[in-house]
Copies of this chain bind each other. A is one copy, B any other.
Amino acid sequence: MAVTIKDVAKLANVAPSTVSRVIANNPRISEKTKQKVREAMDQLGYHPNFIARSLANQSTRVLGLVLPGSASTFSQNPFFPTVLRGLSEGAHEKQYALQMTTGQSEEEIFEGVVQMVQGGRVDGIILLYSKVEDKVMNYLKARSFPFVVVGKPYKYSEEITHVDNDNFRAAKEVTNYLLGLGHECIGFIGGNLNLVVTVERLLGYEKALRDAGHDLKDEYIIHEEFLREGGREAINELMQLGHPPTALVVADDLMALGVLNTLDEMDISVPEDISIISFNNVLLAEMSRPPLTSVDINIFNLGNEAAKSLIQKLENPNDPIKRIIIPHEIVKRASCSKREVDHKEETEA
């Protein structure tokens, strides 16, 4: 059995409660006994037992993470290792530990969350995705269990602390950027429409086009999973069109990579024939050919702020609801170029 507070107390000739106070650095303990106790702790190699402490305190100093269902390819996205690092650093700074749950089905995930929450395993929860009509979120909200979401909650977003990018604005910006390059036919390839982020990016794209006085063409908008095959089919359909787009807004780097390949197979070159801009700016964005112009959404900070704000909330229960917007930035690489007005149109003009 490990060394306990009692062992320390005995060695230091004090009561267990005194040792406890020394651990908490209670100011009412004299420096002298503190010294004595600390020596005893060192000598015995004492480490406080978190479990016991949690039970006594009714608080675990553990944050629960909910990852999206493993079914979705989304979960294979290099996005996650990076949020995790951000989360981890944010949590460690304040001496919180991280526990995670995920599952194959929605039901499994939900069960996992219930275990964490009702089982008292965690003090708060961080949702690493935001879906339309999410059972988990509803549950947490109904119990008013402390949680924050990474992304924008589908509903009640003013009542839920969340950290997100302004995806709507970012999508508007990239679309405007493309418009500014002279493109008039701009397509959108998005991921799963159940994810709020997809919706936001789509809306931003549409807004930019409308503001610029362009019609929205349904044929230009394609939704698929964040996947290669998705990208492939989508792009095929698009390019069959009478008037295929000359630029594409793609909701995710990984998907853009798929698009890039299909285009290459079809002998369409980027950016000469078609420009592409995507989101997230993960490592592979700079490793693709051509390197992708991509919106850096600051994934690390997304995680980091999520951890911090949850902790803040835990230590300050009646803090107001917060919406934290992490800035984004378009990282220009080589996948976009000015629209070359083609011969036919030129003569028409």
Contact = CB atoms under 8 A, between A and B. Distances in A.
Interface residues of A, number: 58
Interface stretch (A77-85, A169-177, A207-215, A335-343): A77-85
Interface stretch (A20-28, A109-117, A239-247, A321-329): A109-117
A187 interface: no
Contact of A51 (B51, B76, B108, B283): B51
A101 B121 CA distance: 16
A269 interface: no
B228 A49 contact: no
Nearest to A60: B51
A228 B285 CA distance: 11
A54 interface: yes
Interface in A75-133: 75-78, 80-82, 84-85, 88-89, 92, 97-104, 108, 112, 114-116, 118-121
A4 to B, nearest CB: 11
Nearest to A112: B92
Interface in A254-275: 254, 257-258, 260-261, 264
Nearest to A57: B51
Nearest to A286: B228
A99 B99 CA distance: 4
A349 interface: no
5 tightest A-B CB contacts, nearest first: A47-B118, A50-B119, A70-B85, A78-B78, A80-B81
9 contacts: A49-B120, A51-B51, A51-B120, A52-B120, A62-B99, A75-B85, A228-B283, A260-B289, A261-B291
